[in-house]
Amino acid sequence: MDLFMGVDVGNTKTTFLLCDEKGQILSYARKKGANFQSCGGIDNSLKIIEDGINEVLSEAKVKRENITSTYLGIAGADRKSDFELINSALKRLRLKKISFQNDGFIALKSGSIDGCGILITCGTGNTNFASNGKEIKRIGGLSPELGDGLGTHLIASKITSAVVRAKDGRGPKTILKNILENKLKMEVEDLISVDLENYDPVPMIIKSFFEAVKQFDVVAFSILKDIVEEINKIAEIFRASLFVKEKNVRLILDGPFFKNADPIFFKALKNYIWDGYQITVSKHDPVIGAALLAMEEYGKTPKRVANRMIKEYLQMVRRKKV
């Protein structure tokens, strides 16, 4: 029986999924982020990936040489030089067949199954892919300093910046101050001394933001408007080049910001972009897309196989709370 492994190498976490040709999940592992640009270099990245592979192999009682194909989605795979570096490093994993692409690409596959549509991510950072089945295009995914307008850390920084500017008089008043500082149980300025290795304030900042939006705070609405407009810009650029004749294009939103967003966000988004998009939020993680792409190295994967894998994955998530 053929065995396939998918790996999602992210900024904050790296996930591993081993399955058989029928879509049955044999093992799963989760390690810390292994983006070589932020984890200390390619050697550190490779060690994290190696540890995760060893864990899923051990759990499934499978030998390395029994894996038919492996596919990795790798955060930090951006430029030609990145691909050359990663390609050389992955040979050290001693796997039979191994392929990779930027992690945004596996998110597109995971959210669409057939690989067609527009993918916009809002995780630690922001990467965007689109494919009409013939062409694949990418927008952004380098850094906020190089044009990215989404990402939970960027949005959180806009929120905390607005609070500080309101407090010292440089910006308009906002109820974000009271909401955020009550939730954090500290003044927002004290975030500068927080140990981010042990405490991530971003989820609480985003939650405070949505509370302010629901209370019709003008500053929060301004940030929401920026987010919605950025999504629309990205989608329209992809649509103009890949989906000119299509009336209803699949728009896949992936990442913790979208998965945990208040319903008011989706109302605002749908009102802004109007018709022409079928908006979906991925319930499962991009590692599913990596596993499916590993399978497709050996032919097209039947939809029933993908559906079984997704069903088993969601059951596993609920059971293990991974």
Per-residue model confidence as pLDDT tens digits over 179-217: 999 999 999 999 999 887 788 899 999 999 999 999 999
| Structure-block tokens of residue 241 | 């080049």
Q: How far apart are CA 298 and CA 307, in angstroms?
A: 18
285: phi then psi, degrees, rounded to nearest 5: -95, 160
Provide the pLDDT for residue 320. Answer: 66
- Amino acid identity, position 124: T
Q: What is the per-residue pLDDT across 257-315, written as a single tens digit (0 to 9) for each?
A: 999 999 999 999 999 987 889 999 988 999 999 999 999 988 777 888 999 999 999 98
Q: How far apart are CA 122 and CA 282, in angstroms?
A: 12
Q: What is the CATH number of domain 3-115+283-320?
A: 3.30.420.40
pLDDT of 321 over the 70 cut: no
Q: What is the per-residue pLDDT across 72-116, written as a single tens digit (0 to 9) for each?
A: 999 989 999 999 999 999 999 989 899 999 999 999 999 999 999
CATH fold match for the domains 3-115+283-320 and 144-281 = yes
Which CATH superfamily does the domain covering 144-281 fall into?
Answer: ATPase, nucleotide binding domain (3.30.420.40)
| Structure-block tokens of residue 301 | 């994967």
∠91-294-242 over CA atoms, to 5°?
110
224: phi then psi, degrees, rounded to nearest 5: -60, -40
Q: How many residues does the chain have?
A: 322
| Structure-block tokens of residue 187 | 């003044």
Provide the pLDDT for residue 169. Answer: 95
Q: How far apart are CA 230 and CA 49, in angstroms?
A: 33
Provide the pLDDT for residue 145. Answer: 92
How far, rounded to the nearest angstrom, does the alpha carbon of residue 220 sit from its chain's CA centroid?
24
What letters, b where the CB count within 10 A reaches 16 and e where it falls short, cover 114-148?
A: ebbbbbbbbbbbbbbbbbbeeeeebbbbeeeeeeb
Provide the pLDDT for residue 278. Answer: 93
Find out whether 262 and 210 touch, Cβ atoms under 8 Å.
Answer: yes
Q: What is the per-residue pLDDT across 146-178, written as a single tens digit (0 to 9) for each?
A: 999 999 999 999 999 999 999 999 999 999 999
What residues does 116 pair with on adjacent strands?
none
Find out whether 33 and 10 touch, Cβ atoms under 8 Å.
Answer: yes
Q: What is the per-residue pLDDT across 5-51, written as a single tens digit (0 to 9) for each?
A: 999 998 889 999 999 999 999 999 999 999 998 888 999 999 999 99
Domain boundaries, the chain: 3-115+283-320, 144-281
